[in-house]
Amino acid sequence: MKNLLLKGRLCLIILLLSSWRLAACDACGCSLNGMNGGLLSPYGQHYIGLWWQHQQYRSIADPNSILDQAYPNSEEQFQVLNLRLGWQLSRRWQILLDQPYSFQTRQSEATIIQQNGWGDSRISALYSLFNNLDSARMGWRHQLRLGSGLELPTGQDQQLTENGLANANFRLGSGTWDSQAQIAYTLQNRNWGIHTELMYQWLGSRSDDYQYGNPWQGSISLYRNNRLGASQLLTRLGLYTESAQMDADQGYYLPHTGGSFLFGQAGAELYWNRFALGVQTQIPIVQDWGNGLVQCQTRIAFQAMIFF
C-alpha cells in the first residue's frame, strides 16, 4: 500500500500536465486532432481511469481575409471523455492505452454546429531509465522516464469542404498516423518536488494532402505531498506551454495557423486505498495563436482512477 501511494502520488502531474492536446483551430478556434492524454505515467501498478476535459475558445475573423468574411466571430467548446488503461509489463516497462470520446460545439451569430463521436486511439510504451523515488533512506531522489507512442486514425473523420481551412480542425479524428516522443524528469526531497517534461509530435499527412503543423508541449511544476491519515493529498503549481508549426494545404503554408500558448496551472489529487481523484485548471498568461485571432479561455479537467 505504501509503495502504491509513493509511486502513484505523482501520477496526475504527468497525466494531467500533458493531458491537454493542442486544441486551437488555426483559423476558426476548433480542436486540432482531439486532446492528448500524455505519454508518461509513473504508476507502478496497473490502473484504469476516466478523464474529463473542457476547453473553450473564441475565434476572431480577420477583416482582411475574404474567407473570414464568410465565417464571422465564433465560440468553440470541446469536451472530451478519455478511457485510459495502464499495464505494467515489468519494473521498467509500461504500456498505456487511451480512447477518447469528444463533444464539440461551434457557435457563431448565424449557426450552431454540434458533433460528437470517437476520437483517435493511442498506444504508448514507457521506459524508466532510473527511479529511486520510493527509497525512503535517501534525501534527494529522482526519476527519469522516456516514452514513445503511436496515434491511430480510428476517429470519425470528415472530409474538407471546398473552402478547406474553415473546417480543417473541427473534426473528431485527424485522419493521420501520428508518432510522439517524450522525456520527463522528477526531483524530490521529502514532501517537496519538481517535475518537468517535454513532448514532441510528428503528424502525418492526410489523404487530401492537408498537413497539420507538428506540435510540442512542455511543463514544469512544484508540488507537495501531504499525508492526511490513511490518505494522501498532492498539490501543485506550475507553468505549461504548447506550440505548433503552421499548417499546410497542397504544400502551401496557411496564414493564421500555428502559434503558441503559455498557461499557469494548478491542481490537486487525493489518494485513498486503491482509488484516486484529481482536478486541474489552466489559465492563459500569454497567447499568440493564429496571429492572435484565437483566444483560449480557462481550461479544466477532472479524473478518477482505480489501481489493481
Instruction: Delimit the domains of the chain by residue range.
Output: 2-307
More confident residue, 151 or 32: 151
User: Could you tell me if 122 and 37 are in contact, meaning their C-beta atoms sit under 8 angstroms apart?
Assistant: yes
Q: How far apart are CA 68 and CA 296, in angstroms?
A: 19
Q: Are strands 252-253 and 294-296 parallel, antiparallel or unpaired?
A: unpaired
C-beta atoms surrounding 33 within 10 Å: 26
In the chain, alpha helices (H): 2-8, 11-17, 66-69
Per-residue DSSP letter, 158: P
- DSSP for 60-114, please give it: ---TT-HHHHTS--EEEEEEEEEEEEEEE-SSSEEEEEEEEEEEEEEEESS-EEE
3-state SS class at 221: strand
Answer whether residue 151 shows pLDDT above 50: yes
Q: Are strands 231-244 and 259-272 parallel, antiparallel or unpaired?
A: antiparallel
- What is the share, in percent, of the chain residues with pLDDT greater than 70? 77
pLDDT tier at 291, thresholds 50, 70, 90: confident
Of 193, 221, 189, 272, the C-alpha closest to 5 is 272
What is the tens place of the pLDDT at every residue in 241-288? 999 999 998 889 988 889 999 999 999 999 999 899 999 999 999 999
Task: Look at the domain 2-307 and name its fold.
Answer: Porin (2.40.160)
What is the tens place of the pLDDT at every residue in 120-138? 999 999 999 988 877 767 7
Averaged confidence pLDDT in the chain: 81
